[in-house]
Every structure is written in C-alpha cells, then in structure tokens.
Amino acid sequence: MSKTPSDKLFRLIRGLTAQEKRYFHVYVGGKAEYASKYVQLFDAMAEMPVFDDEALRRRVYQGQPVETRKYSELKAYLYDLVLKSLQAFDEQNSVVFRLNHQMQSVAVLFKRGHYDACRDQLQKAAKTARQYECFTHLLEIVRWEKHLAYTRMDVDFLHKQFDQLQFTEKQTLEQLSNVAAYRKLFFQVYTAIKREALQRGGERAARLATLVQHELLRDPENALSHTARVLYYRTLNLYHYAASEREQFYETGKKLIELLESQPHFMRENLADYIAALSNFILSCGLLERYDEVRTTLHKLRHLSPLTEDDRLKIHRQYYNNMFALCIFTGAFEEARHEMERCQSEAVRFDPQDYETASFLIQYCCICFGCGDFGGALDYLNQWLNQPRTVEREDLQSLARILALILHFEMGNTVLLDSLLRSATRFLQKKNRLYDLERRFFHLMPELMRARNDQEKQTAFQKMQDDLRHLAAWPETRTVLQTFDLEAWLEAKIQNRPFARVVRDKWSRRNQP
C-alpha cells in the first residue's frame, strides 16, 4: 500500500464538514469498527487544531511500540476510507453522483437480463438529467435506449420512438456544444483580464472588446440552456467590470442574480457561481453609490447556507471583504471593528493553508486607523508588507508605503520618516509605480518635517489637497482612494477634526437628497 503523507490526510479530515464527519462514522459502522485504530486516528486528527504527528502516534498506539511501516499503512488505509465515505456521501447529495449510480445500475441490470427494470432506471435518470441539464448523461441515456431496444428486438419501440430519440440526441449535442463555446469565451475573457491586470491603455481594451464582440454574446437568446445563459451573463459582467462600464456592470450583475434565483434547484447543486455573482453585484452597487442595495445583498450573502467547506470559506471572505469596504467608505469604523473581531474569531475554523489573510490585512489597517488605533494599524500594515507579493497585490504597494508614512507621522515617529521616505521612493521606482500621486505625496512629507509651526503644516496639507483634486480622476489614484480616503485625512488635518468624523460627514453629504 502506498504511503500517505500525514499532513495530506490531516488536511483532508480537517476540511470535512460536521455532516461529513458524522457520515464517516455511520459509513464505517459497528462498535468493533469504531474502536479500531484507523477510527481513533480519524477522531484524533478531526480534533487536533494544529498537526502534530508524534501526538497522533501516542494517542493511537497508547505507549505501544510503533513500526513506521504499519503507521504509514494505517494512514494510507484511512485516507482511502475517507475518500470512499465522501463518495458515498456525495452520492446521496449530488445529482451527478446519483446519475452515475443510476447508469451503473442500468449496466448491472442489463448484464443480468432485467430489461424492464433497465428502462425504469433510464426513465428516472432522464427526468433528472433534463432538469439539471446533465447533457453528457442524456446522451448516454439515449444510447442505452437504442441499445436496449435493439437487444430486445423491440422494433415497435424503435418505430415509435426513434425520431424522438434522434431529436433529443441532436438537441443535446447542440446544447453541449453551445455550453462549451460559452465556457471558452468566459475563460478567454477571464484570462485576458487576470494576466493583463496591470496593463492599461488601448491595446488591452481593444483585446477585451474583440472577445466580447463574438456573436454568441450579442443576444442572450443565443444561449440554448440555463447553464449557457449563466455563462453569457457572467462573461459580460466580467467584461463590463474590467472596462469600467459601471452601469452595464450593475445591470448584467442584476440579471445574472435574477437568472440564478429563477432556478433554485441548480443552486442546491452548485453555490459557487451565486456567491461570486452576489459579491460582484455588491461591488457594482458600491461603485454606483447604491448603498441600500449593498446592505441588502450583504445580508443575503451572509445568510447563505454553504454546500461545501469551500463555499463556507468564499462566503466568509466575500462577506467580510465587502462589509469592511462599506464601513471604511462610510466611516462606520466602530461597526467595522466589531465585524473584524467576529471575522477573526470565525477564521480559526478554516485550514490555515487555505485561509488567505493578505486580503484582510490592509482593511484591518484602515479600520484601526479610523478608530484612532495607530499602533494596531501599523502592526497589520507590517504583516501585510511581510506577505509574499503577488501580481494581484501590486496595485496596493503604493498605498502601503503612503499608509506607513502617515502612520509614523501620526505616531510622532519623525526620526523614521526620512529613511522610510527614501526606502519607499526606491521601492516604487524599482517597481515602475512611482506615479504623480506618490511623487507629490512624498514631497509633502519633507515639507511637514521642515514646518516650524502649525500654520506651515496647514499650508503643506492644503497644497497636497489641491494637488489631489487634479489627480483624483487618474486610474492609479483611484486605486489608492478606493481603499483609503486620503482626501479625508488631509481634510481632517486641515480642519483639526477626527478622521472618522470627516469620512462620515463626507458620506452623509453624498447621500443627501
């Protein structure tokens, strides 16, 4: 029996839902089985928050001598057993698994000559496959219907049903091909956007526009199934976001959600598309300043019942990312602090290897800043700066350097500002990300350090605020301002008011009728 790394087994067991863990015990069944070493190992791993191989050995073997080979075989056996129990669990809860089981039953019955029972199974399977648009299964059902009639020499059945079977086969092939074409378009757009995330200008826009000019994306009627229509709206929604077409981004997102909710049985099989659609719709509402809809959709997202542990992680991440963004923008920093504490307490449920903390750290920094906790904000910012850098996070590198300077200024660490300023300038020059906003802000810091009194500081802040107004429309500047309200910080310093109060007042003015 092949070896199974302990951490691989540990991650599999720790990733099980409570329902899947209960099912494992039902699956192995019986007191004798329950008392066996592999079940003891399963329970030990399920309860262990951090992997400790030596502690596992002691618990399972209880001081008895352990042969490494036998322990490896025990882990390999348990790994296979868990996978089998999950397959049995999914067979009860997944349409695809149920259909596979039904088609296997057809083969078993056919082999033993139970042809009437075969047809009963095929009729049940066909109903399910049509309802859930399982096109490959439908093709297999048609093949079996023909093969069954031929074997039984049922010429009467073939005479009456052949045209219908041919029509079903032709239609299903067209639908399958149609879905494949939409899926290809979706991934072409998705890949182009992700790979060219940092590119700007006409070339990127032209490439994306060419992709969405495909005839399949001209009219939703070109989509021949619910699955294809979902891909149609997902592709356009993604494009409109990348093209900064906010109204179209909002409208396609709204239609996508309406489409998904119109066929709830699909969502009982796969919730991932719906989670992504809600998250994107929240973003579109935020961009259009439709904050009531943001709150409503956040509530809907928060109260979804996950189907898998991956769903649970996605709901957690998307809910908190969007909730933090809303609170930071509206100045509800105390609410955000409460949500942050709840987020961190929930995070312990997830596998640390799957739980990506970097996306939250900058938000935690901004929340603490809004609450006046500059030390806490700096701690989270330093954690973010120490994370491995990826392409997706490059846009935030400028903001991180600006925040570091602001925090040290607020904390009175003037001795560090000069060296931090030089370091930030070198870093962004090396990354080719020293845009006008960064240059002008970096000029502000020496002016503040040279200022001899409050009046000179006010003059420096006012100059930076005037510069920011001219730069606010630039894409590079928007990236910074969408995450941290630099304009509100400058206004707070000029007016000698709390930052959080300025952000709340600014938001209130935006929402006045």
Query: Does 460 map to a domain?
Result: yes
Say whether both 122 and 59 belong to one domain: no
pLDDT of residue 234: 97
Predicted TM-score (pTM) of this structure: 0.79
Query: Does 44 map to a domain?
Result: yes
Q: Are 384 and 362 in contact (CB under 8 A)?
A: yes
Say whether both 53 and 166 belong to one domain: no
Q: Are 96 and 134 in contact (CB under 8 A)?
A: yes
Say whether both 400 and 509 belong to one domain: yes
Residue type, 7: D
Residue type, 375: G
**DSSP, residue by residue, 209-260:** HHHHTSGGGS-GGG--SHHHHHHHHHHHHHHHHHTT-HHHHHHHHHHHHHHH
Q: Can you tell me which residue has the tokens 């607020």? A: 410
What the block records as the tokens of 381 is 């910012």
Region of residue 134 (left: phi > 0; alpha: psi -120 to 50; beta: else): beta
Say whether both 22 and 52 belong to one domain: yes
Query: Does 31 map to a domain?
Result: yes
Q: Are 457 and 444 in contact (CB under 8 A)?
A: no
What the block records as the tokens of 382 is 């330093």
Domain edge (last residue) among 180, 198, 219: 180
Q: Which of 507, 423, 431 is nearest to 476 (CA)?
A: 431
Going residue by residue through the chain, which has 513 residues, state the pLDDT in tens, using 9 for 90 and above. 444 556 788 888 888 888 888 889 888 875 445 457 788 888 888 888 777 777 777 777 776 766 667 778 888 888 999 999 998 888 777 899 889 999 999 999 999 999 999 999 999 999 999 999 999 999 999 999 999 999 988 888 888 888 999 999 999 999 999 999 999 999 998 888 876 544 444 566 777 788 888 999 999 999 999 999 999 999 999 999 988 899 999 999 999 999 999 999 999 999 999 999 999 999 999 888 898 899 999 999 999 999 888 899 999 999 999 999 999 989 999 999 999 999 999 998 887 777 778 779 999 999 999 999 999 999 999 999 888 765 445 667 888 888 998 999 899 887 788 888 888 888 777 766 666 777 787 888 888 888 788 888 888 888 888 877 776 655 555 556 678 888 899 899 999 999 999 999 988 887 765
Say whether both 122 and 15 belong to one domain: no
Domain edge (last residue) among 180, 206, 229: 180
H/E segment holding residue 97: helix 95-111
What the block records as the tokens of 115 is 């042809």
Q: Which of 324, 243, 234 is nearest to 276 (CA)?
A: 234
pLDDT of residue 441: 79
Domain edge (last residue) among 53, 74, 93: 93
Note the residue count of the chain: 513
Q: Which of 449, 427, 454, 450 is nearest to 438 (CA)?
A: 427
Domain hosting 66: range is: 6-93
Number of domains in the chain: 3
Query: Does 331 map to a domain?
Result: no
- Around Cβ 180, how many Cβ atoms within 10 Å? 13
Residue type, 178: N
Sign of CA dihedral 32, 36, 42, 43: positive
Say whether both 84 and 102 belong to one domain: no
Query: Does 30 map to a domain?
Result: yes
Query: Does 124 map to a domain?
Result: yes
444's CB contacts (< 8 A; 6+ apart) are 460, 461, 463, 464
Q: Are 301 and 278 in contact (CB under 8 A)?
A: yes
Alpha-carbon distance 496 to 490, whole Å? 10
Alpha-carbon distance 141 to 326, whole Å? 50
Say whether both 79 and 103 belong to one domain: no
Alpha-carbon distance 55 to 343, whole Å? 30
Say whether both 449 and 403 belong to one domain: yes
Residue type, 407: L
Say whether both 81 and 154 belong to one domain: no
What the block records as the tokens of 157 is 């059945």
Alpha-carbon distance 256 to 449, whole Å? 52
Q: How far apart are the first and last CA of the chain?
A: 71
38's CB contacts (< 8 A; 6+ apart) are 74, 77, 78, 81
Q: Are 462 and 440 in contact (CB under 8 A)?
A: no
H/E segment holding residue 74: helix 68-93
Looking only at Cα atoms, what is the longest distance across the chain?
102
pLDDT of residue 34: 46
Query: Does 489 map to a domain?
Result: yes
Q: Are 59 and 40 in contact (CB under 8 A)?
A: yes
Q: Are 240 and 249 in contact (CB under 8 A)?
A: yes
Alpha-carbon distance 56 to 44, whole Å? 7
Q: Which of 178, 252, 256 is nearest to 215 (CA)?
A: 178
Residue type, 88: A
Say whether both 138 and 106 belong to one domain: yes
Say whether both 431 and 510 belong to one domain: yes
Query: Does 276 map to a domain?
Result: no
H/E segment holding residue 507: helix 499-510
Say whether both 161 and 110 belong to one domain: yes
What the block records as the tokens of 93 is 């809860």
